[in-house]
Amino acid sequence: MRELKDIVEAITADMAKQAERGQVADYIPALARVHPSRFGIAVITADGETIAAGDAGMPFSVQSVSKVFTLTMALNRLGTALWKRVGREPSGSAFNSIVQLESEQGIPRNPFINAGAIAVSDALLAGHDARETIGDILRFVRFLAEDDGVEIDSEVAHSEAATGFRNFALANYMKAFGNLENPVEDALKVYFHQCALTMTCRQLAMAGRYLMNAGIHPATQEAVVPPERARRINALMLTCGHYDGSGEFAYRVGIPGKSGVGGGILAVVPGKASIAVWSPGLNDRGNSKLGSLALERLAEATSWSVFTA
C-alpha cells in the first residue's frame, strides 16, 4: 500500500472538499456551536507510529465513544455477570428507543445504545459515590491515553442532565424492571459525565490501542483486558457500535468502531491500528458523516477491513 501518511493526508484533503457534511447535533449548546468544517484524524499503528492530520489536536465531546471504555471497566469489575443486565445483540432500532425495553423486560439489547450504557454506568457505581465513579472513569481513560489532558466538560454534563429527558425515561424504565441497582439520578450522573469526556483525535486513538493490541497497554505492557475480552469488545463494536447504522458501517468500512453524537469515531483494526476520526456533522443514523466516509476510504486504501482476504 501507499505510505500510510500519504493516504491519511489525501483523505483529509478530500474531506475538506466535501460539500455535504451532515447535521451537527444541536440539542445542547456545547455541541451546536461546533463548526461543521472540522475534520480530524489520528492513526496509531501497532508498531507505534502516529499519523495525524486536520483538527487531530482539537478537543471534542466524545459522547458515546466513551461507552467502549466504561464497558471495558465494567467487564473488568463484574466479568460475565454484566451480561445478565445487558444483551449483546444489535438493536434494530434507534439509539434511544424505549420500545425494545418494554418487550424485553428492561434488559437493553447491547451496551452501546443509551439504555445499555446507563445500565453499565449503574453497574460501575455498585454502591459507590457517583463522583468517585466518575473520577475512576476519567483516570482510566487518562491512563489508556497516557495523557492527563483528557477532561470531563462539566458544562456538557450539566446540559445533558438538563435536557436528557429520554435518558431519564430509559433509566426510570429500567429501574421499574429492577435493572438499575442505584438511584436513577446517580446512574445518570455517571452516564452524563462519561458522555462529557473531551478528547482530541490523538488522545482517543491512544486510548484505543489496547483493543488493537490483544488487550495489552503498549506503554506498560500491562493487560488492560485479557486477549479474548479485547476480541469480544471489538466484536460488539462491529455489530453494535453505530446504532442502527452498524450493518451499514460493517458493510462499507468493515472495521470495529464506536461513534458518538459529537462526531467522533474510534475504530480498531486488530493487530494493526487504532484510529480516531472526528467531524461533527452526522448522517441520518446519528453517526459522523465524514468520519464514516474517511474510514471507508482508509479501509479501502489499506485493506484493513477485517473481512478482507
Integer Cα distance of 265 and 63 in angstroms: 10
Integer Cα distance of 303 and 308 in angstroms: 6
Three cell numbers, residue 153: 466538560
User: What residues contact 225, with CB distance under 8 A and at least 6 apart?
Assistant: 72, 75, 76, 210, 215, 233
Q: Which of 64, 72, 100, 283 binds its own copies (CB under 8 A)?
A: 100
Closer CB to its own copies, residue 68 or residue 197?
68
**Three-state secondary-structure class, residue 289:** helix
Q: Does 116 bind its own copies (CB under 8 A)?
A: no
Q: Does 99 bind its own copies (CB under 8 A)?
A: yes
Q: Please identify, among the stretches 35-43, 85-93, 122-130, 138-146, the one whose residues bind its own copies according to the rule CB under 8 A.
A: 85-93
Q: Is 98 buried (19+), middle (13-18) or exposed (0-12) by CB count in 10 A?
A: middle
Q: Does 227 bind its own copies (CB under 8 A)?
A: yes
Integer Cα distance of 297 and 236 in angstroms: 22
Identify any residues that bridge with 54 across adjacent strands, giving them in sequence order: 40
Q: Please identify, among the stretches 17-25, 31-39, 136-144, 173-181, the one whose residues bind its own copies according to the rule CB under 8 A.
A: 173-181
Closer CB to its own copies, residue 100 or residue 198?
100
CA distances from 56 to 22, 28, 205 (A): 19, 23, 10
* Minimum CB distance to its own copies, residue 245 (Å): 7
Question: What are the residue numbers of the active site?
Answer: 64, 67, 191, 243, 261
Q: Does 307 bind its own copies (CB under 8 A)?
A: yes
Kind plus residue range of the DSSP H or E element containing 245 = none
| Binding-site string for its own copies from residue 231 to residue 270, where x marks contact by CB under 8 A and - marks none | xx-xxx-xxx---xxxxx-xxx-x-x-------------x
**Centroid of chain to Cα 282:** 15
* Minimum CB distance to its own copies, residue 108 (Å): 12
- Judged by the rule CB under 8 A, the positions of this chain that interact with its own copies are 46, 87-93, 97-103, 109-110, 165-166, 168-173, 175-176, 184, 212-214, 227-228, 230-232, 234-236, 238-240, 244-248, 250-252, 254, 256, 270-271, 300, 305-309
